[in-house]
């Protein structure tokens, strides 16, 4: 039985995989996180493109029936070219600006990597949706890297960084878009600083879309069975893989 491949620069895509497994436990999954090269968000476009292609090619060699680019940064740089050459469905991520703008009337703070916010794909999306100029971009230069390294061992480093980064916006935004899959793991800390703001992310929409696409193409596994999950990383040490499986079974 064929698997669904998930790609991210590191641990972030586990948050998307986790939602997919909850929605479709009957599917078989293979995850590849490029933790050895994470974070991607401060790298050049060419570096992000090449690393993404390497990870995607690994997943394509694993007999997958669909590919999820569970990374906003990799999507914004490479998804166009990935789609061009593939016959299997490719599902990707984009910052959830649309639901945020539709659900609040005030300012919307978009937290994402500098690379995501600089790409044409994001700039066009924001221009198309934000006619009233309510979007405020917040490039989070170090956040994904700090989450990758400190989530369990040293969470106060992340909390300190977030307090500094978000201080200018506290009380000023009605919504916050988590435009990077890593940020899902620090949702609580962000909500605590941005009191009263509604948080939006693309995870639920992405996995719902994945399900629709599998169903429409007739390649969805029937329910009533439990599929398998393979976790893989470019950083093949035990710590990384343990972290992946810990996050996969975490509640939030």
> One symbol per residue from 98 to 137: x for binding ligand DGL (CB under 6 A), - otherwise; what is it?
---------------x--x---------------------
Residue among 180, 194, 229, 247 flagged as catalytic: 180
Burial class (CB in 10 A: 0-12, 13-18, 19+), 91: buried
What is the spatial distance between Cα 160 and Cα 204, in angstroms, rounded to a whole number? 28
Distances in Å between the Cα of 34 and the Cα atoms of 31, 235, 243 are 10, 7, 13
Compute the least distance from the CB of residue 107 to ligand DGL, in Å: 22
Secondary structure of residue 147 in the 3-state scheme: helix
User: Does the protein bind ligand DGL through residue 39 (CB under 6 A)?
Assistant: yes
- Of 95, 106, 52, 123, the C-alpha closest to 183 is 95
Element (H, E) at 245: helix 238-249
Q: Tell me the pairing of strands 175-178 and 198-201.
A: parallel
Q: Site for ligand DGL (CB under 6 A): which residue of 38, 175, 176, 231?
A: 38
**Which of 38, 71, 100, 126 is labelled catalytic?**
71
Nearest to 98 by CA among 127, 129, 64, 122: 129
Least separation in angstroms between residue 216's CB and ligand DGL is: 25
C-beta closer to ligand DGL: residue 227 or 235 = 235
Of 181, 203, 206, 240, the residue at the interface with ligand DGL (CB under 6 A) is 181
Residue 203 binding ligand DGL, by CB under 6 A: no
Q: Mask 47-86, x = binds ligand DGL (CB under 6 A)?
A: ------------------------xxx-------------
Active site residue 140: no
Distance CA 55, CA 50 (A): 9
Piece of 36-44, 84-92, 98-106, 217-225 that binds ligand DGL (CB under 6 A)? 36-44
116 and 73 Cβ atoms separated by less than 8 Å: yes
| Nearest residue (CB) to ligand DGL, 165 versus 220 | 165
92 binds ligand DGL per the rule CB under 6 A: no
Point out which span in 9-17, 169-177, 227-235, 243-251 binds ligand DGL (CB under 6 A): 9-17
Q: Quick one: DSSP state of residue 178?
A: E
Cα 42 from chain centroid?
A: 16
User: Which whole-number Å values give the CA distances from 160 to 145, 149, 154, in the listed order?
Assistant: 14, 15, 11
Counting residues that bind ligand DGL (by CB under 6 A) gives: 17
Report the catalytic residues: 71, 180
The residue ranges that bind ligand DGL (CB under 6 A) are 8-10, 12, 38-41, 71-73, 113, 116, 144, 180-182
């Amino acid at each position: 039985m064929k698997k669904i491949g998930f790609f991210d620069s590191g641990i972030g895509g586990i948050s998307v995989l986790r939602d997919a497994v909850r929605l479709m436990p009957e599917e078989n999954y293979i995850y590849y996180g490029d933790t050895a090269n994470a974070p991607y968000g401060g790298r050049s476009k060419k570096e992000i493109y090449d690393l993404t292609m390497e990870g995607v090619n690994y997943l394509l060699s694993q007999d997958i029936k669909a590919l999820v680019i569970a990374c906003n940064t990799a999507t914004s740089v490479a998804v166009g070219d990935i789609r061009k050459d593939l016959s299997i469905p490719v599902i990707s991520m984009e910052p959830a600006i649309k639901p945020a703008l539709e659900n609040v009337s005030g300012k919307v703070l978009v937290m994402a990597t500098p690379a995501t916010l600089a790409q044409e794909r994001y700039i066009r999306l924001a221009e198309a949706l934000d006619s009233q100029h309510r979007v405020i971009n917040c490039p989070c230069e170090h956040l994904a890297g700090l989450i990758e390294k400190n989530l369990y061992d040293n969470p106060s480093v992340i909390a300190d960084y977030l307090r500094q980064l978000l201080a200018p916006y506290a009380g000023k935004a009605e919504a916050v878009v988590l435009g990077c899959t890593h940020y899902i793991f620090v949702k609580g800390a962000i909500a605590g600083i941005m009191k009263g703001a509604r948080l939006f992310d693309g995870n639920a929409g992405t996995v719902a879309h994945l399900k629709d696409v599998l169903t429409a193409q007739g390649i969805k596994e029937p329910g009533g069975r439990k599929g398998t999950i393979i976790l893989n990383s470019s950083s093949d040490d035990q710590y990384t893989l343990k972290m992946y499986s810990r996050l996969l079974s975490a509640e939030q």
